[in-house]
Amino acid sequence: MIKINVVTPLGVLFEEEVEMIVFRNTEGEQAILENHIPVVVTLNPGYVRLKRNGETLYVTVVGGFLEFSNNIVTVIAQEAEVGRDHENALKHLEDLRKKRLEENRKRNIDFTRAERDIKEEIKKIKASKYL
């Protein structure tokens, strides 16, 4: 059995024991079975496919790498998602990113608007002194 850890800056995302992993990056697909030699692979972007009790899981990774030694796989990623299929995961990550940026943009606009209003109010208050 191989132990897999998926680690992101937000902490450990996923921890499981699996029979086999297959990873895919820009170079192609490769499988790792038990007692494979220690290896470091970049995944940017890429995914790791896991087989566990006949069930297939995908760990989709953006900006990361995979390290294998002593039958322990560690996937280090800036962004990662665990799911049943790969295409949707990548899209979901993209969506999350877009949503967040949109939200930030809106916040900025709101902030600028609020700031403009307060400046106007301050001006009015100052003007009232000269009455």
Interacting residues with another protein (CB under 8 A): 7-11, 25, 27, 30, 37-42, 44, 63-65, 67, 69-70, 74, 76, 78-79, 96-97, 100-101, 104-105, 107-108, 111
Q: Which is nearer to another protein, 8 or 60 (CB)?
A: 8
Q: How far is the CB of 44 from another protein (least distance, A)?
A: 5
Q: Is 75 helix (H, G, I), strand (E, B) or coil?
A: strand
Burial code of 88-115, b = ≥16 C-beta within 10 A, e = fewer? Answer: ebbeebeeeeeeeeeeeeeeeeeeeeee
Task: Pick the closer one to another protein by CB: 56 or 104.
Answer: 104
